Every structure is written in structure tokens, then in C-alpha cells.
């Protein structure tokens, strides 16, 4: 079993780190919030006082940070992982960030004699807890294979998408589908309510018909049909609307720079921006149904 460093113990990172410990790995962890580190230490991890502290004796380091800015801060510059990790260390960034930053940081890591892959995830907090995440991976084949057993302890699928940044490209395309489909499912429930159609009846029918999708069957935006969905706990996240907006903006930025036309993706970003600006930011992204109902 490996000694692994882990940075970023939030909604996703904490359960992912826990699963690595369950698989028998020895973990050294860091988060800017001490209580988050403390919780993992109570379960058997060792605390580091700085990001560089997790590199001590580590064969691999996993990061699960909010966005590109934090990834640059943790990996780059003085005292960053690229400067402090021992040659040959495998760096695995599971955060969802822009493709350009992912490529830039991976290039710096490789120049510094380290291995590095981008490995963003799909599956949400439920998938992180149950170790059933899907990892979309970008990087050299040999490095992806090196990471595979580590990722397998946290997920059910590890799929190589291509070279550095390809995992992030796959992730933003996937999440553009998710943002658009969540809005579609919310609009369908809002319409059903107006038509006097019962939530459960719509769920039972659409989940066995052509409207079936993850936003409906795993993350239903109304309470009842899927007991584990955030709708059953007043839309506590989960995956915040702020994070969804971040991913939709990343998709729009990528569409602009590559010349792709993504009209529904653009509209979904506008709706999530409005929701975030109207106090929705820390709410689960499925909570946008409240705004959709309110606009009627
Ligand atoms: P989060 O905000 O709950 O966790 C991020 C953690 O990083 C926090 O604990 C924060 O304190 C820590 N952090 C921030 N800056 C840091 C720094 N400089 N050094 C060390 N720690 C730092 O976010 P999350 O929901 O766990 O999401 C993490 C990433 O995973 C994001 O990129 C998100 O887009 C992606 N993601 C989230 C979900 C989800 O359902 N929450 C699903 C798929 C992907």
C-alpha cells in the first residue's frame, strides 16, 4: 500500500481521502480549514501544516480543490508541490479546472521530473462516499496506468480521455450536459405542478421513458422519488450552484476559444448566474427549481 498526500478535504475530497484509507493507504492530509484536516486525522490520517508537508515520503499526491486559481497556488511557486515533491512523485489533480491551466501545470510538473495527470470526476458526493466515481483522465498512458489502482479505490471507472487536459475537456462537456438536463428536469416538474400531475407519477413514467437521465433518476430536484437527492434536505449541497456555474462558464470559455456553438450551454450558464446572484450560490444546483417555479 502507498503513502499518499491529499490536499482539499471539502465535500468531495474528504470522502475520497477516507476511501483511500479504507483501501489501506497511509494518508498525509492538508486543507486551509483546520477542522477539515482534524476530522480526517481522527480517522487515522496524519496532518500536514502546509501543502508541501504532504509530499514527505509520498509516492502520490491527490488534490481536490475548488478551481484553477487554487490549483495554481498549490502546485506552482515557492513551496508549491512541483518545487517540493521528490522526483518521480505522481501528482493527480481531481479538481475541475480549465483545460489551459491543467495543461500548463502538467507541463511544469513534467519539466520538474514529476508525473502528473488531470483526473476530474463525475458522480457527486454520493459517488465520492460510495467510491463509485467516474474518473476522466488526461496524461501519458504510463502515468495513467500508475494512477489506476489509486483511482480505483475511489471510483468505479477510470477512463483515459487523451493527453494532458483531456480529462478536463471531457469533464466540462459532461457537466454542460448535466447543467442543461437539470434545468430541463426542473422545468418538467414545474410544468407538471401547474398541470396537477403528481411528482411521483411523473418520476415513475419519465424514468422509464425517453426523458430518463441522471438529473431525474439519481438527483431528482423534487423531494420524494429519490430519497438521497438534495431536494430531500432543503437543497443542502451536494454540488453547489456556484460550482455548476463555474463548470458552465468553463464550457463557455472553451466554446469561445475553440469556435464551438453551444446555445443551450450558454442559456444554462445565464440561468445559473441569475440563481447564484439571487442567493442561490451555496445551494445545491438542483435548487434552481425554486427560481424556475418563481419565474412563472
Ligand atoms: P469544496 O469547496 O467543498 O472543497 C474544496 C476544499 O479545498 C475546501 O475544503 C477548501 O478549504 C480547500 N482549499 C481551497 N483552497 C485551498 C488551498 N489553497 N490549499 C488547501 N486546501 C484548499 O468543493 P468540492 O465540492 O469538494 O469540489 C472540489 C472540486 O471537485 C471542484 O473543482 C468541483 O468542481 C469538483 N466536483 C465537485 C462535485 C460535487 O458534487 N461537489 C462533483 C464533481 C466534481
d(CA 119, CA 200): 36
Question: Any idea what DSSP says for residue 142?
Answer: H
Question: Count of alpha carbons within 13 Å of 268, Cβ hemisphere only?
Answer: 30
Per-residue confidence (pLDDT) for residue 159, from 0 to 100 = 98
Per-residue confidence (pLDDT) for residue 296, from 0 to 100 = 55
Residue minimizing CA distance to atom 31 of ligand 1: 66
Per-residue confidence (pLDDT) for residue 238, from 0 to 100 = 86
d(CA 268, CA 175): 11
Rounded to the nearest whole angstrom, what is the distance from the C-alpha of residue 206 to the centroid of ligand 1? 33
Which grid cell sits at 8? 482539499
Backbone angles phi, psi at 90, to 5 degrees: -95, 120
Cell 471507472 identifies what position? 157
Q: Is the CB of 9 under 6 A from ligand 1?
A: yes
Q: Is the CB of 7 under 6 A from ligand 1?
A: yes
Helices first, then strands: H and E counts in the chain = 13, 9
Per-residue confidence (pLDDT) for residue 1, from 0 to 100 = 85
Question: Any idea what DSSP says for residue 285?
Answer: G
Query: Please, what are the averages of pLDDT over each run of 10 residues along the chain (296 residues)?
Result: 96 97 98 96 97 96 96 95 97 96 97 98 93 98 98 98 98 97 98 98 98 97 97 95 96 95 98 97 97 84
Amino acid at each position: 500500500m502507498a503513502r499518499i498526500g491529499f490536499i482539499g478535504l471539502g465535500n468531495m475530497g474528504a470522502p475520497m481521502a477516507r476511501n483511500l484509507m479504507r483501501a489501506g493507504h497511509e494518508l498525509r492530509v492538508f486543507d486551509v480549514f483546520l477542522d477539515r484536516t482534524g476530522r480526517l486525522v481522527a480517522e487515522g490520517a496524519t496532518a500536514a501544516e502546509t501543502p508541501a508537508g504532504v509530499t514527505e515520503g509520498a509516492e502520490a499526491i491527490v488534490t481536490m480543490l475548488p478551481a484553477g486559481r487554487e490549483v495554481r497556488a498549490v502546485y506552482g511557486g515557492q513551496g508549491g508541490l512541483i518545487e517540493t515533491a521528490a522526483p518521480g512523485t505522481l501528482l493527480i489533480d481531481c479538481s475541475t479546472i480549465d483545460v489551459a491551466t491543467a495543461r500548463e501545470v502538467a507541463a511544469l510538473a513534467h519539466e520538474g521530473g514529476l508525473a502528473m495527470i488531470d483526473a476530474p470526476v463525475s458522480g457527486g458526493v454520493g459517488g465520492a462516499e460510495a467510491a463509485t466515481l467516474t474518473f476522466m483522465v488526461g496524461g501519458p498512458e504510463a502515468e495513467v496506468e500508475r494512477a489506476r489502482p489509486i483511482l480505483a479505490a475511489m471510483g468505479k471507472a477510470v477512463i483515459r480521455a487523451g493527453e494532458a487536459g483531456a480529462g478536463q475537456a471531457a469533464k466540462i462537456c459532461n457537466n454542460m450536459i448535466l447543467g442543461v438536463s437539470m434545468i430541463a428536469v426542473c422545468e418538467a416538474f414545474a410544468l407538471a405542478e401547474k398541470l396537477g400531475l403528481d411528482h411521483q407519477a411523473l418520476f415513475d413514467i419519465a424514468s422509464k421513458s425517453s426523458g430518463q437521465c441522471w438529473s431525474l433518476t439519481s438527483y431528482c430536484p423534487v423531494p420524494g422519488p429519490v430519497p438521497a437527492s438534495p431536494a430531500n434536505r432543503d437543497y443542502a449541497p451536494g454540488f453547489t450552484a456556484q460550482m455548476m456555474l463555474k463548470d458552465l462558464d468553463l464550457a463557455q470559455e472553451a466554446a469561445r476559444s475553440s469556435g464551438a456553438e453551444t446555445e443551450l450551454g450558454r442559456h444554462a450558464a445565464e440561468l445559473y448566474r441569475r440563481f447564484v446572484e439571487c442567493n442561490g450560490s451555496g445551494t445545491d444546483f438542483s435548487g434552481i427549481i425554486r427560481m424556475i417555479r418563481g419565474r412563472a
